[in-house]
């Protein structure tokens, strides 16, 4: 009788999930995510509210690196970011917050971001490893599932999970099968001619910062070719970040000053 009652409760639970358009969690995928969270610092990783970093951003053309651009980047999770780039005396500031954003192009031109630029920022949020591990995808009604194992290099394999968003956008994340480190995010994009491309963010050189492990190198590849590299020099967590740094200034000249936190 007790077994029949348990089975009945299970059936009701499944029917309820189906009624509200929800599915049972994929325990294999959830387990891989939990392992990665522990690898990166566990509760300390989950308690990160903001990140302030400095480093260099380098673009690649035809396999060759261009002149690196220094940057300072401020992220307030889950959806606020301000990045300042400086190279040869020129400065560019890009700021996003939710569905809005603005850009300073270094020539005293300050403007709101267009829809394409905002959508590009949102796509970056979707493909971020932090979106997966910190669970921000759950509020967007994405679905997490296990894909399987994929060859990474000679004798090594990665565990693969994927997020599927309601609009059909898919991101696959690969983790070292032997150690659990995040290795890459894989997703589809479009080139200038609107042809579909395969894009990858590859993570390397994990460094411990305040008890949290962070990849200090992130390489971006399109169609199998490297197009950029982010190389961090310094990262700090949970600093006092004024909300005002995301506000669009009334005078572009204010942005000539370096951001200091």
Per-residue pLDDT of the chain (261 residues; tens, 9 = 90+): 444 444 444 443 344 344 444 457 899 999 999 999 999 999 999 999 999 999 999 999 998 999 999 999 999 999 999 999 998 888 999 999 999 999 998 788 999 999 999 999 999 999 999 999 999 999 999 999 999 999 998 889 999 999 999 999 999 999 999 999 999 999 998 776 678 899 999 999 999 999 999 999 999 999 999 999 999 999 999 999 999 999 999 988 888 888 888
Q: pTM score > 0.85 for this model?
A: yes
Written as six digits, the tokens of 240 are: 């006092």
Given this model, what pLDDT does residue 23 score?
58
Helix (H) or strand (E) holding 40: helix 27-40
Euclidean distance between CA atoms 162 and 132, whole angstroms: 9
Can you name the residues that pair with 218 across neighbouring β-strands?
A: 203, 230
Phi-psi map region of 211: left, alpha, beta (phi>0 left; psi -120 to 50 alpha): left
Task: Please state the length of the chain.
Answer: 261
Q: How far apart are CA 215 and CA 217, in angstroms?
A: 5
Q: Do residues 95 and 76 touch, judged by C-beta distance below 8 A?
A: no
Q: Taking Cα atoms as reference points, which of 13, 25, 53 lies closest to residue 236? A: 53
CATH 2.50.20.10 matches 25-256: yes
Residue 193 confidence (pLDDT):
64
Domain boundaries, the chain: 25-256
d(CA 138, CA 134): 9
């Amino acid at each position: 009788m007790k077994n029949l009652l348990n089975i009945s409760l299970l059936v009701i639970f499944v029917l309820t999930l189906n009624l509200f358009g929800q599915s049972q969690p994929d325990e294999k995928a959830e387990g891989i995510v939990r392992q990665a969270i522990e690898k990166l610092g566990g509760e300390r990783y989950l308690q990160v509210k903001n990140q302030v970093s400095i480093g260099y951003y380098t673009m690649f053309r035809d396999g060759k690196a261009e002149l690196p651009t220094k940057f300072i980047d401020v992220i307030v999770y889950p959806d606020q970011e301000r990045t300042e780039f400086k190279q040869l005396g020129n400065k560019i500031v890009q700021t996003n917050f939710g569905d809005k954003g603005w850009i300073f192009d270094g020539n005293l031109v300050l403007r709101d971001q267009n829809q394409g630029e905002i959508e590009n920022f949102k796509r970056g949020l979707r493909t971020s490893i932090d979106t997966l591990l910190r669970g921000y995808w759950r509020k967007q009604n994405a679905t997490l599932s296990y894909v399987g194992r994929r060859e990474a290099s000679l004798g090594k394999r990665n565990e693969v999970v994927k997020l599927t968003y309601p609009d059909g956008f898919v991101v696959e994340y690969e983790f070292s099968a032997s150690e659990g480190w995040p290795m890459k995010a894989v997703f589809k994009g479009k080139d200038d001619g609107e042809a579909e491309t395969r894009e990858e963010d590859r993570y390397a050189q994990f460094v411990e910062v305040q008890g949290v492990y962070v990849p200090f190198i992130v390489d971006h590849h399109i169609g199998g070719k490297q197009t950029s590299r982010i190389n961090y020099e310094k990262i700090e967590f949970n600093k006092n970040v004024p909300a005002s740094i995301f506000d669009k200034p009334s005078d572009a000249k204010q942005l000539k000053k370096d951001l200091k936190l």
